[in-house]
Amino acid sequence: MFPGMEIRQDNHVCTLAYVDTSLRMAFTAGHCRGGGTVTDRDNNVIGHLAAFRNNTPSGATVATHESIDDYEAIALADNVTMNTILPGGRPLTSNPAAVVAPGQAVCHFGISTGETCGTVDSVNNGWFTMSGGVTSQRGDSGGPVYLAPEGGPGQIVGIFNSVWGESPAAVSWRTACDEVRQDLGITVRGWQP
Annotated domain spans of the chain: 5-184
Tell me phi and psi for residue 131, to 5 degrees: -150, -175
pLDDT of residue 71: 94
pLDDT of residue 123: 94
pLDDT of residue 69: 87
d(CA 104, CA 120): 5
Top CATH class of 5-184 equals mainly beta
* Residue 19, strand partner residues: 26
Low-confidence ranges of the chain (pLDDT < 50): 193
pLDDT of residue 114: 93
CB 76 within 8 A of CB 24: yes
pLDDT of residue 159: 96
pTM of the model: 0.92
